[in-house]
Amino acid sequence: MGAGKTTLGRMAASRLDRPFIDSDDQISDRFGVTGRELAAESGVSVLHSAEVEALLEGLGRSQPAVIAAAASVADSPAALDALAHSGAVVALVEAPAPVLVDRLTDRDHRRSISTAEFVFKTAKRREALLELQPSVIVDTSQAAPERSVAEMLRSI
């Protein structure tokens, strides 16, 4: 949350002339609520299952797309396996924990999470995603989004 997946994903999709798929949008379309509302109403496990389903649907499309997948997919062996075997180019979009926490303080569409829980889960998920050997790791804490996208696409 807060790393810039949606911002960078939309820009990359535009530059690559590909569809953009965002799990937040898919969840809103499917359930009629934001991810935060879904977690509050049905529980975090329902939200995370929906985020994994969104990724799997995106990977199953016949037309290649840029997919902004929620970090929770790193908690799902099925999602990690699908990513590993999909042939997809994986970009890990991240920022240091203090930057992420600062970005999350004024966003009401994201679910609330304690700083300690957030830092722990972020580190754990990063380790799982790094095992996929992402094609590129993008730190969004220093460069403007346009520059981050250009560097990401150049690396890929």
Give the tens place of pLDDT for each residue, 1-19: 778 889 999 999 999 999 9
Query: In this structure, what is the dihedral angle of CA atoms 19, 24, 26, 30, given to the nearest 10 degrees?
Result: -170
Domain ranges of the chain: 5-155
Predicted local distance difference test score (pLDDT) of residue 14:
97
3-state helix, strand, coil split of the chain in percent (to 5) is 60, 10, 30
Question: Do 150 and 9 contact (CB within 8 A), yes or no?
Answer: no
Predicted local distance difference test score (pLDDT) of residue 16:
95
Question: Do 66 and 74 contact (CB within 8 A), yes or no?
Answer: no
Amino acid identity, position 36? R
Give the tens place of pLDDT for each residue, 120-154: 666 677 777 767 777 788 888 888 999 999 988 98
Please give the model's pTM, rounded to 2 decimal places: 0.77
Question: What is the CATH architecture assignment of 5-155?
Answer: 3-Layer(aba) Sandwich (3.40)
